[in-house]
Chain A
Amino acid sequence: MPRFLSSRPDSRLIPLPWELPLAEWPTSQLVALPRGISRHVVRFIKVGSSVYAAKEVIEDMALHEFRLLSELHRAGTPAVEPLAVVTGRLSQDGEPLDPVLVTRHLQFSLPYRSLFAQGVRPETVSRLLDAMVLLLARLHLVGFMWRDVSLSNVLFLRDAGEFAAYLVDAETGEIHPHLTDGQRAHDLEIATVNLFGEFCDLEAGNMLDSSLNPQRLVDSILARYRELWAELTGAEEFADTEAFRIEKRVRRLNALGFDVAELAIETSADGNRIRIEPKVVDAGHHSRRLLRLTGLDVEENQARRLLNDLDTFRARQGSSNADEPVLAHQWLTECFQPVVEAVPKELRGKREAAQVYHEVLDYRWYASQREHREVPLLEATHGYIRDVLSELPDEKIAAAPGVIDGRELANPYDPSHGFIDEDEGPMPIDPWEDAATAEPATPTGFLDIAALRARQQDAP
């Protein structure tokens, strides 16, 4: 009987066909969603109206990852939400099967392969790398050494004009009280090697814009990370006449989306020099403020955009002294909600509400420029729905691209199986595989000291 370890039990998991290896689950239980490549069997499974991701992996790793993801989730780090580990699985003939780690599928998320399969402009690649670097820095701030940093282990969400990156694979990760420079450098080294490999793979699959060069792309990761890390954690020293630089630093951090929870300020013995060093910074400066004011829980850049719109709204009302929460509520009911509710139900799977609002604001700006008049919000909304939204693909649960660059995938549930037209003929004979099969099926748990002695005697 399978056992379920879960912090949020979902009884709908129980009747699933756990006695089958994940690779053999009936397609009626599966959803073909775009995803990265994994060394394990990974499938998206339908559970009622929800979609979960399931990964078959040995018990230690499954439990380790479940706990790490839970911890990251609690710390508010962008990571997928773990739901359960299913252990004690037996096949129909009684053979043990590896446990399955179940996580919640992140709605509206885009794996890099599906983005690239649709064709990605060079500036978009740059935004994806920014999101990736920001995620890595945020993980490092909470002491998480990832070790398997790669595009395959990340999901991207649209975040106004940018992207937000979420961690989806914590298998190799570790949480430490504090990461050393070496640990961070190690993660960066892995990141550059893995991303270089992934870009080369996209290049080999004709999915990388020919103007992009894998080498230059990964070189830029290092520079971006170092710059961000220095801003988030670096010490700064200046003369006491420049005390305004304290405020300036805090503002720069806010602009990057971080709040300063602790800032160490030291003055030199003679009082002429000031040294500041951010000790604790928390991501989510704008999203926390928006959440507090309106109850909307959105990504950081979406929040920044919405807050700007809220400021404009306030200015227009001419009520800069009015109570902020009251104004925010007014904005929510007079601006945000009417736009969101104007989207017909059948189009709501294309973009998240906050993203729709951001895109409507963009649409209105361009329309106003074009028509030399202030286009009203609702008019812009209808124009946007007609001209833009209705043409977009569904992204709430994006269909996996079964065909990439005119070629059909061998297995729509797993991109690592390559294309259907790639018949390379029979596999060559592999003596190593035969030797491996000759090994005992399972370790006996006994140390064969006699064999060790015999080997020692044979050795020269």
Chain B
Amino acid sequence: MATVTFKGATRIYPGSDHPAVDSLDLEIGDGEFMVLVGPSGCGKSTSLRMLAGLEEVNAGKIFIGDRDVTDLPPKDRDIAMVFQNYALYPHMTVADNMGFALRMAGVPKAERDVRVMEAAKLLGLEEYLNRKPKALSGGQRQRVAMGRAIVRQPQVFLMDEPLSNLDAKLRVSTRTQIAALQQRLGVTTVYVTHDQIEAMTMGHRVAVMKDGILQQVDSPLSLYDKPNNLFVAGFIGSPAMNLMEGAVTEGGVRIGDYVLPVAREVLAKAPSEETLTVGIRPENLTIAEKGFDIDVDLVEELGADGYLYGTLSGLSEDEKAHAQQIVARISTRTAPQRGSSIKLAATDPATVHVFSGKTQERISG
């Protein structure tokens, strides 16, 4: 087991004028489950592949433990790409399907058997070891594939969108199983996904990337509760955080006719800015007597709670076309009608996130 460290790691593709990954600094703890997440082209896969040795590192260094692996070929890095080959061989037993790569690596039979048995116990596959794989379900096949990586006992597991070719049902159960297994094995794991829900539910920490630049690395809850900048605020959370731009006035930020209260010391952090962006998560909005006006487009009921979707009132047609939809989590017992007008306010001023319009950085505490 080992730590993983990116130090200013940079990848510039030939012919490109800006880096695919721009001086990435990231320290991953021993046994940590780190998820790299971001939209397509953000550099998450490239980062993982630099660690795997598939992409050249044009500047900076990468360490596994104390070992500088920057220029090592992939096979000398003591890493395992999980799920990269999961064809099961019909004439071989489940045990041989899990352990054949050890045979290739010259591991003696007795040790192979021990390692395969240990992995099978972890994966709940002991009873299947002497059977042929033909009757295994999709989920069981996934577990045999995980077993192949586990028996190798690498220092680091790498997973590059491992669930992307599974159907929705298998994706959810495999997600849970991978997270539970990683917890028990305690092997440092770097996991890449474009799906922020997957990232938030699986990772000990999550690194959010955009345009080759690391935006924030934090625990899922910290990312959710204290996003560093507008991008992270909008990317993490589903439904997404409501982001509204408004003029700075005495005591707050003006949204329509309503002044959303913002503490003086927060406003003081951006003294030269006339407008700021405020963000409120859907569950932190409530229907109130005083608040910003909303035209209700839709109420989606999900049991006792539901989501209200609307747009800010009083916008011109042109503004409406570009306006972000406002989403609020509400109790369906008091749900307003579609087409009606209501007022929304923050449940607690502490839940209002404030961002500089200039730097897009968070200025609220």
Contact surface of A with B, Cβ cutoff 8 Å: 37-39, 57-58, 60-61, 98, 145, 147-148, 150, 152, 171-172, 177-178, 180-183, 185-186, 189-190, 192-194, 196-198, 200-202, 204-205, 214-215, 218, 410, 415-418, 422, 424, 427-433, 435-437, 439-443, 445-449, 452-453, 456
Contact = CB atoms under 8 A, between A and B. Distances in A.
A190 B85 contact: yes
Contacts of A214: 104
Nearest to B130: A424
B271 interface: no
A432 B239 contact: no
Given A201-B89, A215-B104, A182 B74 contact: yes
Contacts of A436: 139, 170, 173, 176-177
15 contacts: A177-B13, A180-B54, A182-B53, A183-B55, A197-B87, A197-B97, A418-B90, A418-B132, A418-B134, A428-B128, A432-B143, A435-B173, A449-B237, A452-B201, A453-B221
Contacts of B100: 196-197, 200
A447 B124 contact: no
A150 B85 contact: yes
Give the dominant DSSP class at B's interface: helix
Contacts of B96: 200, 204
A320 B167 CA distance: 65
Contacts of A204: 89, 91-92, 96
A445 B238 contact: yes
A452 B87 contact: no
Interface string B261-297: 0000000000000000000000100000000000000
Interface in B100-142: 100-101, 103-104, 123-124, 127-128, 131-135, 137, 139-141
B350 interface: no
Contacts of A147: 84
Contacts of A182: 49, 52-56, 73-74
Contacts of A428: 127-128
Contacts of A418: 90-91, 132, 134
Best-surrounded residue of A183, A429, A431 (most CB of chain B within 10 A): A183
Contacts of B84: 147-148, 172, 190
Interface in B298-336: 302
A190 B168 CA distance: 27
Nearest to A201: B89
Interface residues of B, number: 66
A196 B101 contact: yes
A201 B14 CA distance: 41
A445 B97 CA distance: 35
B4 interface: no
A447 B171 contact: no
Contact of A186 (B52, B89, B224): B52
A436 B140 CA distance: 10
A410 B90 CA distance: 11
Contacts of B124: 430-432
Given A37-B87, A58-B165, A190-B84, 10 more contacts: A180-B54, A182-B54, A182-B55, A182-B74, A186-B54, A198-B89, A205-B91, A436-B173, A442-B168, A452-B200
Interface in B130-169: 131-135, 137, 139-141, 143, 164-169
A180 B104 contact: no
A81 to B, nearest CB: 22
Nearest to A426: B135
Nearest to B173: A436
Given A428-B128, A433-B139, A442 B74 contact: no
A185 B91 CA distance: 29
Contacts of B15: 177
Contacts of A449: 224, 237, 283
Interface in B186-205: 196-197, 200-201
Interface string B67-108: 000000111000000001111111110001100110110000
A306 B124 CA distance: 59
A37 B91 CA distance: 11
Nearest to B169: A441
B103 to A, nearest CB: 7
The 5 closest A-B pairs by CB, nearest first: A436-B173, A201-B89, A428-B127, A205-B91, A204-B91
B220 interface: yes
Contact of B168 (A38, A57, A201, A443): A443
